[in-house]
Each structure stands twice: as structure tokens, then as C-alpha cells.
A and B are shown apart, each in its own frame.
Chain A
Amino acid sequence: MEETSVQPAHVHAPPEGFIRKHVFSLDHKVIGKQYYGLALVAVFMGMTLSWLMRFHLVWPTAKVPGLDLLSPAGAPGGIITPEYYLSLLTMHGTLMVFFVLTNAPFAGFGNYFLPIQIGAEDMAFPRFNMMSFWATLAAFLVLVLAFFIPDGPPISGWTAYAPLSAVGKDAGPGLGWGQSLWAISIAVFCIGQLLGSLNFIATTLDLRAKGMTFMRMPICTWAWFITSCIALLAFAVLLPACLLLLLDRMAGTSFFIPSGLVVSDRLQNHAGGSPLLWQHLFWFFGHPEVYIAILPAVGIVSHVLITSMRKPMLSAKVLIYSMLSIGFLSWMVWGHHMFVSGMNPFSSLLFSFPTLTITIPATIITLIWLGSLYGANIQITSASLFALGFVSMFVSGGVSGFFLAQPSIDIYLHATYFVVGHFHMVMGVAAIFGILSGTYFWFPKMSGRMMNETLGKLHFWITFVGTYCIFMPFHYLGIVGNIRRYSSFVNDFMAPLMPLHKFVSIAAFVTGAAQFIFLYNLIHSRFRGKPAPDNPWNATSLEWSIPSPPPWDNFGGKHPVIYHDPYQYGVKGSKGDFVMQDSPEQLASG
């Protein structure tokens, strides 16, 4: 259509009433906060599950008061059974990967800030955006429902490997309805993320303000855009995989279940399926998922660091190109999760090469950060501390990935605590640090109040030291052969490692407890925090040009015009230390 349509003043009318404003809201900012709130609930649930697991690992015969009420079969008398340990492990992984690491940095912050940073009034499809959140919430509730059914949650891990995840309750506790709920939950989650990604992409392509060229977008906007492209393709593959899994489970098909499979002394009535097919489909999603979790954090951290350093990155363009390269390469490496799956060994080599290649853009990004930080007079705030912590975790966790990317080494380290340490540091904790950095940075804009910096710094130091105390020993444990997923090591060859496990568990309890400092700070500051000015960090991007918190239509009916690149700090000839993107001030070139 060539015609210009008559456009309404805004993509949706001003919300009226509590339900439209805060519950079924079309406003991207409310939806962003809803995603963040859901992630907050999920992260504390996931953390509690990890506490239970760490408790059981070092005190396997001790009772957990009240747990038998939740699951009489899984924790008779409050003592966790090995099977229930696996249930906790599955739910921990699923909650954290899907409902925390995807929800908060990507869907949460992305929803809130992407439209504002490009000068848009809202997302391209506000209704799809609302549906995206409610689908995600429904997925969360379906998943959590698994705790309350007699069968309990599934025991197959967050990867739900076939064929045991496909054959039903014969395969073990939680693999009846628990596993079905898991697959339904993830399928619905995929639909939510597809709608969200579609919105992010269309909004970035088409709703940028006048003058907002692609290279003028802040680095975090770029990160959300690249992530949404990855998520669109990744969840579009996981959704069919979940549908096929559900068909195997409920309709008697044999996509993933091989012939002659005997489980619990019963011959399964399936034939010809391929368990490896599930692994291929799952990891084709699963590895890009790592970047769905980490790239938004890379963007957020870069944004925070630049603002704290008061100078541009060495090369923001190269950083953006590196993120694009990581996004591109993420599609070629899924097989590195399957080195010991029985795949052709030559395939392992093919997957190993691009995996090792990813270290090049990742190293470039790290060097840009370090080179920019060198000699910078960085302002130490809670946000910048967590950003620096992210860089540390990204490097520490990334280095171990170099070992795991090589099949010959991975064969030894596979399914040990080394792998657990690697992905927790580089994907889990690093992304959490990115989320926390973003929270301390953007909270004033989102709530109109400042967070308590003293509590923030206390939170950082306990979390930073604590996470190293938890996850660095994992690498040592893995190298000496400590197998993952086992529920106790008391009476076997791994018993000598128990003192180290006790240290890790105590560190986990302390680090977890420190997160309540954050929760207190978040809630207290929301209601009693010092009122925030519009631009407390003297930052340059568009979100800081509008009131804190922003009005429902973001720019109060005005259409921002963009004159500058996103990070104009310490510019010669400028009247101040920084120049906002929408400031018409003329700058001297160079």
C-alpha cells in the first residue's frame, strides 16, 4: 500500500482504571515491569530450590522442616529423596533459564527501555505485547503447578532429554503429568517470546524517531534487537520440538522414542524414533538461548560503563559488530553440547571450530571494555560495580568455555561440576549481574526514586565474593571427577570432596541471603527512596530526557528529534560534560 493512513495521536488511548493501567496494560513500560516482577518471583523460587539442593548435598539425612507438606512422596519426613533432588534441579534450571535469564534482561528491560531509547511512543503491536506477557505468566503458572500434583515436578533436567522425557510415568517420578506440564509450559512460553521478539524487531526497524539512525541507537538497544532476532528463530524451533514431545507423550507417536525400548521392565509401545533428534532440536534452541541471556546483559553493562566512565567506548561500532557476529555464530555451535551423545566424531570437530571462533568476538568485546576502562576515572556506583562484576564473571566463566569447546577435553569434563561452574558463571551469574546493574541504573527512571547506594554496594560485595566462592570450586570439583546431578557423595569415592562441598553450600546460603538486602532495598526505595531527578547519572540517551517515571505516552505528545550519537561524553567545545542525543547543540567535529 502506498497510501499514508490517518494515524491516531497515540497507538493506544490513555489507560483508565486500575485493571487497564496495571494488570491488562498495553503500555510497554508496565509490561516491562510485569516481566521484571515475574522474573523476581522466579529468581527467588529458583534460589530457594538451589538452597535445598545445596543443603541436601552436604547434609543428605537432615530434615527440611515443612518440605514433606509440599511433597510427601518427594521428601518423606522432610528428607529429600534422590528423585526429588532431581525434581528440584529440573525446576531450578527451568525457572532460571526461561523465567529469569530470558525474562528480566531481555523482555523486562527491553520492553521498558527499547521504545524509549529509539524515541517511540510504544511497541509496534501493543496487544501482542500484552499477550506475550500473559502467555509467559500462564507458562510460569503451568510449570509451578507441577509442584502441587501428586506425581511432582519432572526429574529430567531443564534439557528434558528423550527418550525418558517422552515415554511417560514409567520412566520415573514426575515424568507423567509433571513432564507434560513442563512441555506445555515451555511451548506456551515460546509463543509468548515469539510475540515479544516480533514486537522488538518491528519496533526497532520502523518506529525510530527522526534522526535515530541504526548506528545512533544505544548499545543496549542494539543488544535487545540482536537478541530478539536470535529469540525469534530459537523459540520458533523449540516450539515444534515441544509439540512433537507432547505428541509422543500423549498421542502415541514415535518421534523421539526408539524401537525396543524397555523402561521399568516394560517394553514401550513405540518404534523407530530418534532420541538424538530431540537433542538436536533442543540445542539448536539451547545454545542461542545462552546468548539470549547474555547479550542483553552485555548491552546493559556497556551502557552503564560508558555512563560511569564519562567517555565513549574505544569502539562502540566494533562492539556492536562483535555482538552481531556472536549472534550469527550462535546458530552453528549447538552440537558442542552433544560431543558425547554418540554423534559422529567428525561432527564434533565441525561444531568445535565455530565454537572456538566465538571466542574471537567475545574477546574483542572484553578488550574493548578493558581498554576503555584503562585510565578511566570511573564513578563507583552500585550499577557500575555490578557492571564491573559482570566483566569479571564474563571473563572467568568464558575462559573455561575454551576448554569445553574442545571435544577431547570435553569427553573428560562432560557431566561434571566443571560444566556446571562454567555455565553458571558465564551465563547465569554474569547475566544476573547485568540485570542487577540495570536495576540500580534504571530504577530511578522506572520508579521516580533513588535506590540506597550503601545497601547496593554491600549487596554487590557479598554477591561478588560469594559467587566466586560458590562457582570457582566447581571447576576444581569437576576436574577431579565430581559428577553433576548426583544427590549425595557421602558413601562413594567423592566423599573426600565433602569439605569443599560444605564450603560451597555455606557460601551459597550467605550469597543467597544477601539477595534479601537487594529485595529490601528495591521495595523500600520504591516507597521511601529519595525522589529521583530526571537524569540522575547525567546520561545522554533518550530515556533520561523525559520525567522519572515517564508519562504513559513517554514523550508527552512530543516527537523527539535525534542529533547526536548515543554517547557524547567529555566532548570538546560542549557547554557541559555531556550532550544529550536530542540536544540541538552543535558540536565541534572530532
Chain B
Amino acid sequence: MATTTYSPTDSQPRLVGRDRGSRSGIWVGIFAITMSFAAFTSALYVRQGSGDWAHIVLPGIMYANTVILLISSLTMEMSRRTIASSWRSGVRERGGAWPWLAATLVLGLAFVSGQYLAWRHLAAQGLYLATNSNSSFFYVFTAMHALHLLGGIAALIYLMGRCAGSHGTVRPILFHNTAVYWHFMGVLWLYLLLVICTRL
């Protein structure tokens, strides 16, 4: 490298240290999860080549679940914006985000419960995890998505605890990250639903 002398300018970022790392971290995590689901999808395409593909009829409740998850994204976004505007105005009042978080949590749990009902529906038709290749992929896709969504639900519960308490601090970046993750869960589900609808 060339011998150069550099005087650093004072361009300190607005988000410092820990928060900046946290913001990048959520995107890196999303990238890894995307890669995992890309691997599952490519497994589906290779496996489909074996010729024993037997299409399954998807339970109707999955479409209702999809609507619920998309609405939960809106409530999550409202909680993020509530905190952001409160911090921007300098008030730093955090209780306003609580109802939106609670609504997101209820909708998230409703989605997971709905997915469970979809499993029950398939099981009632005699379609279990190992019944055929299509049912295997159906359960794997939905279970892996639900598992990741439970991570988001854990984050929601943590944030609700922070908002409800009168002590301690709230880091707005955590709202931002939870919102990004939650929206990603919605996008991921739309993608999986597309794959499930067109391939299974």
C-alpha cells in the first residue's frame, strides 16, 4: 500500500458503536436465513426430479394466515414509527408503542396457530411428514418458517417488557431491527407460499 498520511475527519456516525453493529447484524442474519431457505428450495427442485411428485391440496386457512401475517407487519410498523417519532421529538415516551406491539404479538400467535390448524387439516387427510415428498416439503417449509417467526415473537415479548416497565432504557434500534425482521418474515412467507402453491 502506498505510504500516505491521513488525518481522520470528525465524521462520527449518528448511530454509534453497538447500535450500528446491531443494525448491520439484522441484515446479515436475514441474509443467512435467506440462504438457508434457498437451500431448502433447491432441495425441492432437485427432489422434484425424482418423478414421484403427488400434488397436495392446500388448506384454505393458509390464505387467511397470510392476511393475518401481513396485517401484523402493519401493526409492527406502527409501533416502530411511534417510538421513532417519540424519540425524534425528544419526548422519549415508550408506552405508546405497547398496544401496537401487543397487537402484533396477538396476530403473530394467531398466524402460528393458524399454521398448526393447517397441519391438522393435512393430517386429517392422512398427509403426514413422511407420507410423500410433497407433504415432507410442506411440513419442513412451514415448520422452519414458524420456528423463525417464534424468534420474532420472543423479540416482541422482550420489547413489550421494556415498554411496560417504568425503569430501564429502550433502544429504538431494537424496534427498528424487530420491525425489519418481522417484515422479512412476511416477505419470506409470501415467497414460501408461492413455492408451495406452484410446486407442491
Q: B87 in the interface, Cβ–Cβ < 8 Å? A: yes
Q: Which residues of B contact A (CB under 8 A)?
A: 1-8, 10, 12, 14-25, 28-29, 31-33, 35-36, 38-40, 42-43, 46-47, 49-52, 84, 87-88, 129-130, 133, 136, 140, 144, 169, 171-173, 175-176
Chain A residues near B32 (CB, 8 Å)? 194, 197-198, 232-233, 236
B25, A566: Cβ atoms closer than 8 Å: no
B24, A247: Cβ atoms closer than 8 Å: no
A1 to B33, CA, bound (A): 23
A272, B2: Cβ atoms closer than 8 Å: no
Residue-wise, chain A 116-143 has the 8 Å CB interface mask toward B (1 for contact) of 0000110011000000000000000000
A272 to B6, CA, bound (A): 63
CB distance from A196 to the nearest CB of B (A): 11
B129, A274: Cβ atoms closer than 8 Å: no
B136, A7: Cβ atoms closer than 8 Å: no
Given A207-B17, A240-B43: A272 and B52 interface contact (C-beta under 8 Å) = yes
Chain B residues near A273 (CB, 8 Å)? 47, 50, 133
Chain B residues near A492 (CB, 8 Å)? none
A272, B50: Cβ atoms closer than 8 Å: yes
Q: Which residues of A contact B (CB under 8 A)?
A: 1-8, 11, 120-121, 124-125, 194, 197-199, 201-203, 205-207, 210-211, 215-216, 232-233, 236-237, 239-241, 243-244, 247, 251-255, 258-259, 271-274, 276-277, 280-281, 284, 312, 316-317, 561-568, 571-572, 586-590
| Interchain CB contact (< 8 A) of A244 among B19, B43, B171 | B43
A254, B130: Cβ atoms closer than 8 Å: yes
B133, A272: Cβ atoms closer than 8 Å: yes
Q: Which residue of A lies closest to B37 (CB)?
A: A240
Centre residue among A197, A210, A240, A271 by max chain B CB count within 10 A: A240
Chain A residues near B36 (CB, 8 Å)? 236-237, 239-240
A317 to B33, CA, bound (A): 32
Other 8 A-B pairs with CB < 8 A, given A232-B31, A568-B3: A124-B22, A125-B25, A199-B25, A206-B24, A236-B39, A564-B6, A567-B1, A587-B3
Chain A residues near B20 (CB, 8 Å)? 206-207
| Interchain CB contact (< 8 A) of B136 among A211, A232, A247 | A247
Given A7-B16, A7-B19, A244-B140: A2 and B129 interface contact (C-beta under 8 Å) = no
B50, A210: Cβ atoms closer than 8 Å: no
B5, A589: Cβ atoms closer than 8 Å: yes
A274 to B49, CA, bound (A): 9
A206, B21: Cβ atoms closer than 8 Å: yes
CB distance from B46 to the nearest CB of A (A): 5
B21, A202: Cβ atoms closer than 8 Å: yes
Chain B residues near A316 (CB, 8 Å)? 1
6 shortest interchain CB distances as A-B pairs = A124-B21, A211-B8, A272-B52, A252-B130, A236-B35, A206-B20
Centre residue among B3, B10, B20, B35 by max chain A CB count within 10 A: B3
B39, A251: Cβ atoms closer than 8 Å: no
Chain B residues near A271 (CB, 8 Å)? 52
A124 to B177, CA, bound (A): 14
Name 14 interchain pairs, CB-CB below 8 A, sorted by A.
Answer: A3-B88, A124-B18, A124-B24, A198-B32, A201-B24, A201-B28, A236-B35, A237-B35, A239-B36, A255-B43, A258-B50, A272-B51, A281-B43, A562-B6
A4, B16: Cβ atoms closer than 8 Å: yes
A280 to B44, CA, bound (A): 13
A5, B172: Cβ atoms closer than 8 Å: yes
Chain B residues near A202 (CB, 8 Å)? 21-22, 24-25, 28
| Interchain CB contact (< 8 A) of A587 among B5, B25, B28, B84 | B5
CB distance from B15 to the nearest CB of A (A): 6
Chain B residues near A201 (CB, 8 Å)? 24-25, 28
CB distance from A90 to the nearest CB of B (A): 23
A565, B1: Cβ atoms closer than 8 Å: yes
A251, B129: Cβ atoms closer than 8 Å: yes
Tally of A-B residue pairs with Cβ under 8 A?
181
Q: Which residue of A lies closest to B34 (CB)?
A: A236
A317, B6: Cβ atoms closer than 8 Å: no
A2, B136: Cβ atoms closer than 8 Å: no
A1 to B15, CA, bound (A): 9
CB distance from A554 to the nearest CB of B (A): 13
Centre residue among B4, B15, B21, B36 by max chain A CB count within 10 A: B21
A255, B1: Cβ atoms closer than 8 Å: no
A1, B18: Cβ atoms closer than 8 Å: no
CB distance from B144 to the nearest CB of A (A): 8
| Interchain CB contact (< 8 A) of A2 among B8, B16, B42, B88 | B88
Chain B residues near A236 (CB, 8 Å)? 32-33, 35-36, 39
A312 to B1, CA, bound (A): 7
A211 to B10, CA, bound (A): 9
CB distance from B132 to the nearest CB of A (A): 8
A198, B25: Cβ atoms closer than 8 Å: yes
A239 to B43, CA, bound (A): 13
A120 to B36, CA, bound (A): 30
Chain B residues near A563 (CB, 8 Å)? 5-8
| Interchain CB contact (< 8 A) of A251 among B17, B130, B133, B169 | B130
B130, A206: Cβ atoms closer than 8 Å: no
Chain B residues near A567 (CB, 8 Å)? 1
Q: Which residue of A lies closest to B173 (CB)?
A: A1
A202 to B28, CA, bound (A): 7
B29, A317: Cβ atoms closer than 8 Å: no
CB distance from A331 to the nearest CB of B (A): 11
A202 to B18, CA, bound (A): 10
CB distance from B130 to the nearest CB of A (A): 4
CB distance from B140 to the nearest CB of A (A): 7
A244 to B25, CA, bound (A): 27
A255 to B8, CA, bound (A): 55
Chain B residues near A272 (CB, 8 Å)? 47, 50-52, 133
Chain A residues near B144 (CB, 8 Å)? 240
Chain B residues near A276 (CB, 8 Å)? 46
Chain B residues near A572 (CB, 8 Å)? 3
CB distance from A39 to the nearest CB of B (A): 23
B172, A210: Cβ atoms closer than 8 Å: no
Centre residue among B2, B14, B43 by max chain A CB count within 10 A: B43
A125, B52: Cβ atoms closer than 8 Å: no
Q: Which residue of B lies closest to A209 (CB)?
A: B8
Given A5-B15, A202-B24, A280-B46: A259 and B52 interface contact (C-beta under 8 Å) = yes
A4, B50: Cβ atoms closer than 8 Å: no
A277, B47: Cβ atoms closer than 8 Å: yes
B43, A206: Cβ atoms closer than 8 Å: no
| Interchain CB contact (< 8 A) of A247 among B25, B38, B50, B129 | B129
Given A3-B172, A247-B136, A274-B47: A562 and B8 interface contact (C-beta under 8 Å) = yes
Chain B residues near A277 (CB, 8 Å)? 43, 46-47
